[in-house]
Amino acid sequence: MSFSSAQLMTSRKMGIYEPNHQILMWTESFKNDSSQNTSGSTIVEADTKLDNVSEDALHGMLVPSKKFEQEANKPSDKVLRRLAQNREAARKSRLRKKAYVQQLETSRIKLSQLEQELGRAKQQGLYLGGISGDYSIGMSGSVNPGVATFEMEYGHWVEEQNRQVGELRAALQAHVSDIELRILVDSGMNHYDELFRMKTMVAKSDVFYVMSGMWRTASERFFLWIGGFRPSELLKILSPQLQPLTEQQLVNVYSLQQSSQQAEDALSQGMEKLQQTLAEILVSDPLGSSGVANYMGQMATAMVQLEALIGFVTQADNLRQEALQQMYRILTTRQAARGLLALGDYFQRLRALSSLWAARPREPT
């Protein structure tokens, strides 16, 4: 800043201009400028800190929210255990399937070898037990491929039933929800449906094998009725295990027992009639009026009558299946679970009884 001589003089005259005073003015001006700069810097720094704090605060608010969402979406321990059990069951199922396929392949090879031996035996005119080709294999003592396949499938069916019985017992003891019980009960019902399907197939292959019950243990065969259990008798065994039942449930169960008994009686009478007809055919005089033997015609007539056996086995299995399904509709989910558990335990004990009887000590002869 420059001042003219006139201005300086005027200032001196007025007593305004003093060097020290000017310096003070410049100093104050500098301070004011510095103060303004400092204030601006302080504001910027404060804004920066505020931004940082806002980001931290926002992050702190978002993190718990994410954690909450993760916790909300995290499966419960019960679900995790169930998933682990399902994975283990699937793994075991794959192993059983692999073993089953291997057994089928082994049986196929054995059957092929037996068929070759049978062919050679027929060519040589050899007979075993009076009937050509009656080779012993498996439980059935039959070379029939359908029977051999059924025996292996039934063995796996029993293993799966034992596993399901164990699951039902554990679920009932743990007091799981009705939804979880419903899954187990449906699985058990489907398992019995699978058995009836298997029996229908093998009955077409060898109905006498199904009727004889050779695929069951000795104790089970003692209670055999047309290739299986009597529905009415089984309902009498299970009913005490299902208590308490409501009045309406008692009425429905009793009605089911009566209708099952009537259907069983009708099938039993049909079987007796079939046996009588076959006996009459077989003891009739095989000589015709011309004196020519009609033996083959007689056998052909008997064969036609025997075809009815397949129908009797199918009807008996349908009756058993219908009785189980009717009980499922009558009972609550928890009662149905207890009923399936009691049914599985009953068959397990029959099999155990057969094993104990076979292993009993015998007096030396």
- pLDDT of 73 reads 57
Confidence category of residue 102, pLDDT binned at 50, 70, 90: confident
Confidence category of residue 132, pLDDT binned at 50, 70, 90: very low
Under 8 Å CB-to-CB from 355, ≥6 apart: which residues?
A: 217
Element (H, E) at 321: helix 295-330
- pLDDT of 112 reads 66
Give the pLDDT mean for 82-104: 78
Task: Give 297 or 309, the one with higher predicted confidence.
Answer: 309
- pLDDT of 124 reads 45
Question: In the predicted model, is pLDDT for residue 81 greater than 70?
Answer: yes
Share above pLDDT 90 across residues of the chain, in percent, rounded to a whole number = 43
Give the pLDDT mean for 71-87: 73
Angle, helices 295-330/247-283, rounded to nearest 10 degrees: 180
3-state secondary structure of 288: coil
Confidence category of residue 287, pLDDT binned at 50, 70, 90: low
Cα-Cα-Cα-Cα dihedral sign, residues 206, 210, 212, 213: positive
Q: Which of 57-66, 108-117, 306-315 has the lowest mean pLDDT?
A: 57-66
Give the pLDDT mean for 99-112: 69
- pLDDT of 71 reads 55
Give the pLDDT mean for 183-191: 95
- pLDDT of 286 reads 56
Dist. CA 304–CA 299, nearest whole Å: 9
Question: In the predicted model, is pLDDT for residue 125 greater than 50?
Answer: no
Question: In the predicted model, is pLDDT for residue 348 greater than 60?
Answer: yes
Give the pLDDT mean for 308-322: 94
Residue type, 226: I
Can you read off the two tokens belonging to residue 41?
């810097």
3-state secondary structure of 225: strand
Give the pLDDT mean for 178-184: 94
Residue 20 exposed, middle or buried by CB count within 10 Å (0-12, 13-18, 19+) = exposed
- pTM of the complete model beyond 0.85: no
Task: Give the mean pLDDT of the chain.
Answer: 76
Dist. CA 184–CA 190, nearest whole Å: 10
Whether a cis peptide bond, with omega within 30° of 0, leads into 244 is yes
Confidence category of residue 231, pLDDT binned at 50, 70, 90: very high
Dist. CA 270–CA 308, nearest whole Å: 10
Tell which residue, 288, 5, 341, has the closest CA to residue 166. Answer: 341
Can you read off the two tokens belonging to residue 138?
């498996």
Radius of gyration of the chain measured on its C-alpha atoms = 46
Share above pLDDT 70 across residues of the chain, in percent, rounded to a whole number = 65
